[in-house]
């Protein structure tokens, strides 16, 4: 005998979304995996994870919001990479996400214009909508 509600499939505990967009004229893949305690976001044009950045939203003692990032694996001396990570974490915060983020950026070119396009794509189609 089946228990009540046994016919319903349990939801998979990891929410995910995969899509592609043209960023700077190149096909760019976005892979979202939302876990209970963090978000893994892979953005790649080269088919690999590229540079892995750990990012989080922090609050100061006076209530202001700051963002901390650190490169886990990959290019450590690229300021545009840090800009991209901070901008993406800020955009995620505006979407209501406050958990730590593991961000993987495998991009052929990273300029302020590309960062702006990436943030726009993240805001338009994300795992929260």
**Residue 72 to residues 28, 54, 101, 103: CA-CA distances in angstroms?**
22, 6, 12, 10
pTM (two decimals): 0.83
- The number of CA neighbours under 13 Å toward the Cβ of 4 is 0
pLDDT confidence tier of residue 52, bands split at 50, 70 and 90: very high
Rounded to whole angstroms, the Cα distance separating 28 from 79 reads: 21
Q: Work out the mean pLDDT of the chain and round it to a whole number.
A: 85
Structure tokens given for 114: 């590309």
> What domains sit in the chain, N to C, each tagged with a CATH number?
15-124 (3.30.230.90)
pLDDT tens digits, 75-85: 888 888 888 88
Mean pLDDT of all residues in 55-75: 83
Pairing of strands 26-34, 39-44: antiparallel
Range of lowest pLDDT (20-24, 28-32, 42-46, 83-87): 83-87
């Amino acid at each position: 005998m089946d228990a009540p509600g046994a016919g319903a499939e349990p939801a998979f505990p990891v929410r995910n979304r995969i899509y592609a967009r043209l960023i700077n004229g190149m096909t760019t893949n976005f892979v979202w995996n939302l876990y209970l305690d963090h978000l893994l976001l892979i953005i790649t044009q080269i088919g690999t994870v590229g540079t892995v950045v750990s990012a989080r939203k922090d609050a100061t003692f006076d209530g202001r919001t700051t963002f901390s990032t650190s490169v886990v694996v990959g290019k450590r001396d690229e300021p545009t990479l840090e800009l991209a990570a901070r901008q993406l974490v800020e955009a995620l915060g505006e979407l209501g996400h406050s958990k730590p983020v593991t961000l993987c950026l495998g991009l052929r070119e990273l300029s302020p214009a590309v960062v702006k396009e990436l943030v726009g794509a993240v805001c338009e189609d994300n795992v929260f909508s």
